[in-house]
Each structure stands twice: as C-alpha cells, then as structure tokens.
Structure 1
Amino acid sequence: MNDKKEEITVCKRCGRTLTKEDLIASGGLPYCNQCRIELAQQYIDKKDMKDKKVTKQVSKHTKVIDALKWVALSFFSVLIIINSIVLIRIFIHNKEVEFTPPELSKDAIMCMANLGEISELLKAGELPPDTIICPVSGKPYIVRIVEGDTIVSCPNPELHHLKNLWVSAKHPKPEVEK
C-alpha cells in the first residue's frame, strides 16, 4: 500500500489550501490566485504612488526653472531695450554743435573766431604771430606757457564785457568767462 502523504501547501496570505495547479500557475509561490492578484495590485499602487511623487517633485522643479527662465528673459529684454535707447540717444542726439552764446557782442564773436585760428596753429605746434590781433583793442593776443600747456588769451576781455576769453593747446575750443 502506497501510503504516501501528500504535502499540503497553504496560501501564506489567506490560508487557503493550494492545489498542484495553483502552485504551477503561481510559479511555485505559496499564494492563491486571488492573493497574487491583490499583491500585484498593491505593488502597482505603490509604484504609481512613487511615480506620482517623483512627477510632482519634477514638475515643481520644472516650474521653478521655467519661472526663473522667464524672469531672466524679462530682465535681459529690459536691459537690451534700455541699452538700445541709450545708444540711440548717444548717436543721434549727442552731436557736437558749435554754440555761440547770444549775449556775446559781434566784437567778442570776432575775437573768438581769431582764437579759433590760433587754436589751429597751436594744434600744429606753432605759436600765433603778432599779426593776429584783438578786433576791439588792436593788441596782439597774450601767450603764456603754464604746466606744459600753451594758453593764448585776449589782451582786453573787459572790452568785450567778459572776464576772460582764451584758448589753449589742451583746450582747443575758445573758452569764455563772464
């Protein structure tokens, strides 16, 4: 008599008795079909929860990066616009214009023109000749050398109702002091 005792396998989760078919279907794992389905569902749910957490973290991180990109883009756009405006103002509105104050007399303007000619001579490294004279006083311009700069001034600026009228090698435009 064959008195072989069959081993009885029980589901570790619910305690049901498992048949050989159940063991074969489960790949030798001691779980019934229903428990395997529930365990698989729990595994999937846990994985989904982890994926959602990671997705939330990534989406928060991405939103922060996107916001920083927009802030940087806005900042640099404003910077470019401001620089463009500054450059336009420099190149268009900053042209040097010869300006003669309207309060100067015709004689003072003629004296300034003479100083303009003298300025050209100073640029060339020459001193003005005595033939260039103030149109009011008829005297030649006063030449002084101060700290390596040649300064030429009107001999009688008070006749032009000014304190001083001069030009120098370092300051080639005629200067007026009232």
Structure 2
Amino acid sequence: MLMIRNRKRLYSLILALAGVGLLYFVVKDVKLALMSKTVIRSKSTDDSTVAQLGESLKEKVKETIEDKLKLDYSIMPSMPDQQAKKELGNASWKYFHTLLARFPDTPTQEERDKLERFVRLYAELYPCGECSYHFVKLIDKHPVQTSSRTTAAMWGCHIHNLVNEFLKKDIYDCATILEDYDCGCSGE
C-alpha cells in the first residue's frame, strides 16, 4: 500500500515537473509579451512604476529598431541633433538636384551605370542612419532613372517629394527642376 502511494506521488511529481518545463519553454519564447499594450498590474505596483517600466521598454525597443535599421541598410549611426539633420538635408538635396540637373542629356551606358551606383552609395552612406534607411527603401521601390538629364532630374524631384510627403512638408513643383538647379557653370 505504501509503495502505491509513493508511486502515485512520484507520477504526480513527474507530471508537475513536465508541466512546469513545458510552461517554461512556452513562456521563454514569448519575450515580447512585456512589450504589448496590456500591462498586468499587481496590487502593490503604482502608476509611476508602470510608467518607468513603459519608458524603459520603449527605449529598448527604439534602440533595437535603430540597431536593426543600421545593420540592414546603413553603416551610419542615428543623428539626434535635429538642427544638424536639417542643415545636412538642405545641403544634400542641393547637391543631389544639381548633380542630376548636370547629368548628360544623352548619357552613355557607362554614365548611366555610374549614376545609378553613385545614387545607391549616396543613399547607403548618407550620414544620418534613419535618413539612409528611408532613402534606400525609396530607391528599392522607385529605381534610379538614368536615360537622360530630364529623366534623372524628374526622378530625383519625385524622390524628394516622397520624402517631403513623409515629413509633411510642401510638395515641390518638378516642372522647373532643371532651371532651379542650373549652376550656370557651363555654356550649354
């Protein structure tokens, strides 16, 4: 009789351990459950603790996303100084549009290939990591157009307008892009 009780206890203990082990493996794979919008509060947790936990998780998620973006598309870090980012953007767009407005009217295949490679590298090496990520994604979706000066300049204007739309800025009238970015540096 004693052996039967011990055997039942042993079976119960084995089943309990198996249940705990299974639960451990299931819960282990659900690490992001803490990041969901639903926060389970215990009676002893106050709102400030929950807010601190939320902010901590928010920062970790942001860092993870930034790291992922950096690894996927950009070797550049983020650029937290908004003024520096704005100044860089203005100068970069000026250079970008001037380059495209100076591209040959009837480029050779080699010139077309060079421009395409350059724009890809320009996007990948852009000094602002987030901007670089978005720029590369835009180029993936809207490939560089290099068949002529006008085509390249209009493509660049279209890309700039997509960025403006994303940033909730005014849309640029592309009809005057070649005149607006003519550097006046040739006798054409």
Tell me, yes or no, whether TM beats 0.5: no
More strand per residue: 1
Q: Please report the TM-score for the alignment, with normalisation by the length of structure 2.
A: 0.27
TM-score (norm 1): 0.28
Q: Which has the larger radius of gyration?
A: 1
* Larger RCO, structures 1/2 (Cα 8 Å, 6+ apart): 2
Give the structure with the higher percent helix. Answer: 2
